[in-house]
Structure 1
């Protein structure tokens, strides 16, 4: 039986809550063991498996802090969702190779997420508004 939109919302909100508290193990627990984790534009490309995804989260949590995610809209299909959100926080490190200098940062995210029947995330494809990040973190 397919997941309901409410079940997908709950899992995605749990995932974002772990991200907001920089809890790598919590985030990874929302992913399937064999997850395909694809942050479009990430230098190493898509990764496969929880432990491979760990590297992205550890780097991101060093570079970004005080994060929150606000959902703009979601669309649902059979065991998948499309989530448009706004990420807001600070950039104390070097997010995406840019000097953050602890400046405030806000950008749009588009997630295309597929779920297992058990409700874990089996594929996470993330599109980031990189142009917005570059405008907010000029490198003078």
Structure 2
């Protein structure tokens, strides 16, 4: 069983690496067979740290992340659900919306699963509609 403190530590390491733009460190907390699924992302779910790193490399080229704040966290035996508010810019656009340096804020829901002291699955749901609306209004 993964403790809440261990879940929090792994998630914090992961998000800190994302904010720093370090895709290798972001996936260093994953198991070798991690399932990474950002709902709506063109690749669909991917498996393994290398495929997840490719996602983060693409994301970091598109989104300048200025911060992520947890607003609610629910823990289970070997999983955790975290609602976040994210802030940043999309200088290359997003989902067909125009590029903008105007800051946007949106909700995300992360579902993390854990095994053997690492993250074995990350499922991300984000409010793409809110992002597009804010970019289109810029």
Please confirm whether the aligned pair reaches a TM-score higher than 0.5, indicating the same fold. Answer: yes
Question: What TM-score, normalized by structure 2, do the two folds share?
Answer: 0.93
Q: Give yes or no for the alignment of 1:55 onto 2:41.
A: no
Q: In 2 relative to 1, CA 98–13 (structure 1 residues): closer, same or farther, beyond 3 Å? A: same
In the alignment, what sits opposite 1:132?
A: 130
Q: Moved runs in structure 1, 4+ residues, more than 6 A? A: none
Instruction: Please state how far the C-alpha of 1:105 moved relative to its aligned partner.
Output: 1.3
Instruction: Please state how far the C-alpha of 1:101 moved relative to its aligned partner.
Output: 2.0
Instruction: Please state how far the C-alpha of 1:107 moved relative to its aligned partner.
Output: 0.6
1:15 & 1:89 partners in 2: Cα distance? 17
Instruction: Please state how far the C-alpha of 1:96 moved relative to its aligned partner.
Output: 3.7
Conservation of the 8 A alpha-carbon contact between 2:65 and 2:86? no
Three-state SS of the structure 2 residue aligned to 1:102 is strand
CA-to-partner distance for each residue in 1:76-114, whole Å, 9 max, x for gaps? 001100000011112112334432222211110000110
Q: In 2 relative to 1, CA 66–123 (structure 1 residues): closer, same or farther, beyond 3 Å? A: closer
For structure 1, the residue ranges without an aligned partner over 5 or more in a row are none
Three-state SS of the structure 2 residue aligned to 1:93 is coil
RMSD: 1.5
For structure 2, the residue ranges without an aligned partner over 5 or more in a row are none
1:83 & 1:96 partners in 2: Cα distance? 24
Three-state SS of the structure 2 residue aligned to 1:103 is strand
1:59 & 1:50 partners in 2: Cα distance? 14
1:126 & 1:41 partners in 2: Cα distance? 9
CA-to-partner distance for each residue in 1:16-62, whole Å, 9 max, x for gaps? 11111110111010111111000000011000011111121011101
Question: Greater CA deviation, 98-107 or 54-63?
Answer: 98-107
Question: What TM-score, normalized by structure 1, do the two folds share?
Answer: 0.92
